[in-house]
């Protein structure tokens, strides 16, 4: 009896040891929980991270929360960022963070116009008013002026409120392709959405960054987090995403199932995630030549200065491009 009791105790210790073996990871997003973060919430909710021996805490950003400096400070292990300009800026400023995956093959940054007001993207350059926020004025607006025929005389400040756009049928406004078109429709205004990515603004978006130190000291953990996140995205896009929805709504009570469905319909319609390089190389795919191409675009349009960024420090493509998760997609879609 004593021997049996000890065996049970030993088994319990082994089980506890297995639980303790999970690596705790803090992952920060760039805004409040939403559909565009769904793959990560899916991987938490369906146990994918746990399968990879990871205990992942998702720490949302928001209007009063800037997660970006928290990565370099060591308070986050991974960070969901916006686009490559932010990564260029980190390298330029000597901040030792590196992109290890690109979940969005196309940046959702867009221009919107009232439905039927302008026949094509090129026609937007004749709009009397283009509403652009401060950050946009120092980034993609420079490209629109230098390469796409827009004029600074059109520029008006965008205060992230749809009222000015809705009241002016000839106005054009910056938008996140999976957000503002939905908000405008809810207020009775249908819009045409023009993704900048479809017209040459070729940055990756929703990238995953980590500290270079973590890559150097624990590449296995980085690989496990990337692989598990990729699987989360495939399960979210093509499987049952109800558990992820529940987790998102718990983290952000303003979200509803209907809102999330509309957002994901926009992702599919605009072709943001599982497109381009991701078709063959898997979600998260990155190409060094494409990163260099976007760098050239940024330099030639005056967004950054030549020589300010060491491209070798921007991204590490060794964690992606392996077709990871394509078997999950095939099983879920039957293709």
**pTM > 0.85:** yes
Residue 66 has a pLDDT of 86
Closest Cα partner for 162 from 153, 174, 152, 170? 174
Torsion of CA 174, 179, 180, 181, to 10 degrees: 110
Predicted local distance difference test score (pLDDT) of residue 328: 98
| Beta strand ranges found along 115-261 (DSSP E) | 130-132, 155-157, 172-176, 191-195, 205-211
* pLDDT on residue 286: 98
Percent of the chain beyond pLDDT 90? 89
pLDDT tens by residue, 241-266: 999 999 999 999 999 999 999 999 99
- In the chain, pLDDT over 70 holds for what percent of residues? 94
> Per-residue pLDDT averaged across 174-184, rounded?
96
Residue 157 pLDDT > 80? yes
pLDDT of res. 326 = 98
Alpha-carbon span 289 to 260, nearest angstrom:
34
Those residues with Cβ within 8 angstroms of residue 135's Cβ, 6 or more apart along the chain or in another chain:
none
Contact in structure between 117 and 192 (CB atoms under 8 Å): yes
Rg (CA), the chain: 22
Say if CB 143 and CB 303 are below 8 A apart: yes
Q: Both tokens of residue 181?
A: 């078109």
Q: Which residues of 36-71 are buried (b: 16+ CB within 10 A; e: fewer)?
A: bbbbbbbbbbbebbeebebebebebbeeeeebbebb
Structure tokens at 266: 């926009």
Q: How confident is the model at residue 20 (pLDDT cuts 50, 70, 90)?
A: low
Predicted confidence band of residue 63 (pLDDT cuts 50, 70, 90): confident
Q: What pLDDT is attached to residue 136?
A: 96
Q: What is the pLDDT of residue 172?
A: 98
**All domains of the chain, ordered by start, with CATH?**
2-106+203-333 (3.40.190.10), 109-199 (3.40.190.10)
Is residue 152 over pLDDT 50? yes
Which residues lie below 8 Å from residue 181, measured CB to CB, with a gap of 6+? Answer: 110, 112, 175, 191, 193, 266
pLDDT digits (tens, 9 = 90+) for 201-219: 999 999 999 999 999 999 9
* Whole-number pLDDT of residue 19: 46
């Amino acid at each position: 009896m004593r021997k049996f009791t000890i065996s049970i105790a030993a088994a319990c210790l082994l089980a506890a040891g297995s639980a303790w073996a999970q690596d705790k990871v803090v992952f920060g997003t760039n805004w409040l929980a939403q559909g565009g973060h769904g793959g990560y919430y899916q991987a938490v909710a369906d146990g994918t991270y746990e399968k990879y021996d990871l205990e992942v805490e998702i720490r949302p950003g928001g209007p009063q929360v800037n997660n970006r400096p928290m990565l370099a400070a060591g308070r986050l292990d991974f960070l969901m960022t916006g686009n490559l300009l932010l990564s260029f800026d980190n390298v330029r400023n000597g901040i030792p963070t590196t992109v290890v995956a690109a979940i969005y093959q196309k940046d959702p940054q867009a221009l919107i116009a009232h439905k039927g007001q302008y026949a094509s993207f090129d026609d937007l350059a004749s709009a009397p008013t283009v509403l652009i926020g401060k950050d946009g004025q120092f980034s993609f607006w420079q490209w629109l002026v230098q390469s796409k025929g827009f004029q600074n005389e059109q520029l008006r400040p965008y205060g992230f409120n749809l009222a000015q756009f809705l009241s002016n049928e000839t106005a054009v406004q910056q938008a996140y392709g999976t957000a503002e078109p939905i908000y405008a429709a809810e207020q009775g205004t249908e819009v045409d959405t023009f993704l900048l990515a479809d017209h040459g603004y070729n940055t990756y978006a929703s990238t995953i960054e980590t500290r270079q130190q973590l890559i150097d000291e624990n590449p296995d953990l980085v690989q496990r987090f990337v692989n598990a996140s990729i699987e989360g995205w495939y399960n979210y896009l093509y499987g049952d995403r109800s558990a992820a929805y529940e987790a998102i709504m718990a983290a952000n009570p303003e979200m509803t199932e209907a809102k999330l469905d509309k957002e994901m319909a926009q992702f599919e319609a605009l072709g943001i995630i599982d497109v381009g390089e991701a078709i063959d190389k898997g979600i998260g795919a990155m190409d060094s030549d494409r990163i260099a191409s976007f760098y050239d675009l940024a330099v030639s349009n005056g967004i950054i200065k030549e020589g300010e960024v060491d491209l070798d420090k921007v991204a590490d493509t060794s964690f992606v491009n392996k077709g990871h998760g394509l078997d999950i997609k095939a099983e879920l879609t039957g293709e």
